[in-house]
């Protein structure tokens, strides 16, 4: 019983972190579209942002 509970908690944490990552990426893309041309040029020069 304890093992299956731990597995469920681990799966839940993994799912939550993936969901948060997807939402963060979507929000980040939305903010990129709202930026000015100068900001877009800066992002193009530094793809790590």
DSSP characters over 20-43: HHHHHHHHHHHHHHHS-HHHHHHH
Q: Is residue 45 assigned to a domain?
A: yes
What is the pLDDT, as a whole number, of residue 33? 57
Q: Is residue 34 assigned to a domain?
A: yes
The pTM of this model reads 0.44
Q: Which domain holds residue 39?
A: 23-49
Q: Is residue 40 assigned to a domain?
A: yes
Q: Which residues of the chain have pLDDT under 50?
A: 49
- Give the Cα separation of 28 and 42 in Å (integer): 15
Task: Give the number of domains in the chain.
Answer: 1
What is the pLDDT, as a whole number, of residue 47? 62
CA 4, 5, 10, 15: dihedral to nearest 10 degrees? 100
Q: Is residue 13 assigned to a domain?
A: no
Q: Is residue 41 assigned to a domain?
A: yes
What is the pLDDT, as a whole number, of residue 34? 60
């Amino acid at each position: 019983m304890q093992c299956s509970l731990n597995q469920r908690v681990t799966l839940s944490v993994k799912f939550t972190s993936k969901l948060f990552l997807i939402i963060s990426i979507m929000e980040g893309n939305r903010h990129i579209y709202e930026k000015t041309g100068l900001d877009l040029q800066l992002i193009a020069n530094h793809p790590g942002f």
